[in-house]
Every structure is written in structure tokens, then in C-alpha cells.
Amino acid sequence: MKAIVMHERGGPEVLRYEDFPTPEPGPDEVLVRVRASGLNHLDVFTRRGEQGRRVKLPHILGIETAGEVAALGDGVVDLQVGDRVISGPGIWCGRCEMCRAGEENMCVERLIVGVDVHGGYAEYIKLPAYALAPLPESISFEEGAATLIAFGTAWHMLVDRAALSPGETLLVLAAGSGVGMAAVQVGKYLGARIIATASTEDKLARARILGADETINYAQQRRFARAVRKLTDGRGADVVFEHVGTDTWRDSVTTLAIGGRLVTCGSTTGRWGETDLWSLFAKQATLLGSFSSTQANFRTVLQLVSEGKLRPVLDSILPLSEAAEAHRRLEARQVFGKIVLQP
């Protein structure tokens, strides 16, 4: 098969389009013909080898995949060749306390597809049958490949971690990113008042269409805490949706309201941040980490997308062979929503 294969860590140029052995499904596994593969910042970190886990080389990236069942391993009974499917939040043990409690994203044996095993930047991918879900007819392959990470992550952060309530103020940073545009929509669905930040007027206008009530141009007002105070009569934000990291962390903490919660799923501009401890204790604020999503989160967002209540936003669709170019665009943050690769 054709695949984007990484033989070394580094810049986008290490992503080479070449031949690679087609995987063979073992017992309880499924071979999926990939129709669309979504891009994520985790792919960039894995490629560079600077944050997160260092992968074994050669490696194929790609966390989220949509496609059709091409072949079944022994023992798979609930799927058939030709079925439309989408990959879920990963591979987990299914036996530990966390898995039994439905918190698969906290399983210590959990494997991330595209990091710990080969991902979807390829014509075919092999996955355990339980790690796949049927893709409803109303969702295209491209939308399917842009659903799981953005909406599943945003749902887990805002519902399971920050417990966002109707009427609360939610500050969404970098609303033009895949997870940012998902957070605006999930926040709106939950009945929150949304303040969104982005670096261009065009991105802010699109965030308003998705449900943002107020917007802050981050390029003009880098100290956004002041702007948030002005928009909230001095109260601050009840929940801050972080994923930017070093560049925004300081203001994200100081902008919290009394009893506010900051929830983060990423650190695209760097992993270290300065925390105003006075803001933290005097406001009885909470800092929350969040990673990926559970099976239940995944089923919920897939249902809401199929009902049209949440809408994946596609920035662009590129041929698989142009993965390096797609990474350059993502790194330059010249995107609104998700980039999807098509084999």
C-alpha cells in the first residue's frame, strides 16, 4: 500500500510518501480501507519527537480515521466487509478499574493509534474491532475523520472535567483551531455564554457564526485578561478552555472568575506556563488536565454530529501524498478547523 512513512524525527520533510507492507488483521482485528484521515497537533509533536512519547521508527502517523471495512480477522462478528466505520479514542485493556468504570482514556495500558501503533496516514489501517464504530450515512468520511479528536476532546473537557453549566461564561482560546471550533459549539450546545479568541478578524467572524457571543482579537490584545474582565463586568470567565500553553497560560489563570475552572488538553506553543498563585487560591480556582475522550464521549458526539447539532468544520482536504504540506499549514496556524488527508 501507499503510506506516509516517517524514518526519522524532524520537520515536515521527514513525511515520505512511499510503499509500505499492507497490514494483515489478526484475531478480533479489522483491516480498514482509509477514505479520510484527520490531522492533529499531536501528529506534529510525534513527528518532531519533542513532546509526548518517542515512537519506534519507521512509523505511520494518524490518530483519526474514517473508511470502509476491507477484511475481517477471525472472531469479528459485528462488522462486515464494506461497512462504513470510524476509529474511536484508541486501544485499551478493557479489564482494569478505569476501563470497567468507562474511563478508558485513563487506562494505564492504553495505546494511542498513530503514536503507539501505526495510524491512518495510509491506504489501509489495522485496528481491533472494538476500536471502531459505525459511521452514520449522514456523515461523510471527511467529516467523520474530523469528529473524534476535536469534539470528543472538547466534550470530555467541558462536560466531564469542567462541568460547564448553562449560563456560565466560557472563554475559548484559539477558536479557529480544530478543538477550538468544537469547544465553541459544545459550549453553545450546553447553554454557556461564549467568549472566543483568535488571531484574525476572519477567524473571529467564523467563530461568531459557530456560536461565539463575544470575540477578542488576540493579535491586537495579547493581554486578553483585561478584555475578558471588561466583557464580564469584572467577574472573569467561569471556565477557560486552554490548549495553547506558554503564550496564554498566565492570562488564562488570571482571567478566571471566583470558583473558576481552567481545563487544558494541549500546549501547542510550549509546555511551561507561569501560574499566578494568588489568583489560584484567593479565587478558589481549579486547574484541570484532560486527555482525549472516553467511549461514551465518542458515542455522544457522533450522535450529535449525525443529528446536525454539532458540525465538523473542514479547513481543507488534501491528497495523502501532500501530508508534509498539510503539516506546514497546521504549524503555521493557517487553518480554520480541520485538515483532512485523502489516500
- Contacting positions for Zn ion (CB under 5 A): 92-93, 96, 99, 107
Task: Identify any residues that bridge with 198 across adjacent strands, giving them in sequence order.
Answer: 217
Q: Which of 151, 122, 87, 90 is nearest to 313 (CA)?
A: 151
Q: Between 93 and 318, name the residue whose CB sits nearer to Zn ion.
A: 93
Mapped onto helix, strand or coil, the DSSP state of residue 180 is helix
Query: How near is the Cβ of 129 to Zn ion at its closest, in Å?
Result: 17
Q: Which is nearer to Zn ion, 92 or 249 (CB)?
A: 92
Pairing, β 338-342 against β 314-319: parallel
The string of DSSP letters for 281-309 reads HHTT-EEEE--S--HHHHHHHHHHHHTTS
Cβ 19 to Zn ion shortest distance, Å: 35
Our CA dihedral for 278, 265, 187, 254, rounded to 10 degrees, sits at 20
Q: Which is nearer to Zn ion, 93 or 317 (CB)?
A: 93
Minimum distance of Zn ion from residue 161's CB (angstroms): 19
Question: Would you say 93 or 288 has its CB closer to Zn ion?
Answer: 93
DSSP sequence for 44-86: HHHHHTSSSPPPPSSB---SEEEEEEEEE-TT--S--TT-EEE
Cβ-closest position to Zn ion: 107
Nearest CB to Zn ion, comparing residues 96 and 159 = 96
Assign 161 to helix, strand or coil.
helix
What is the nearest approach in angstroms of Zn ion to the Cβ of residue 52? 20
CB of 106 to Zn ion, least distance (A): 8
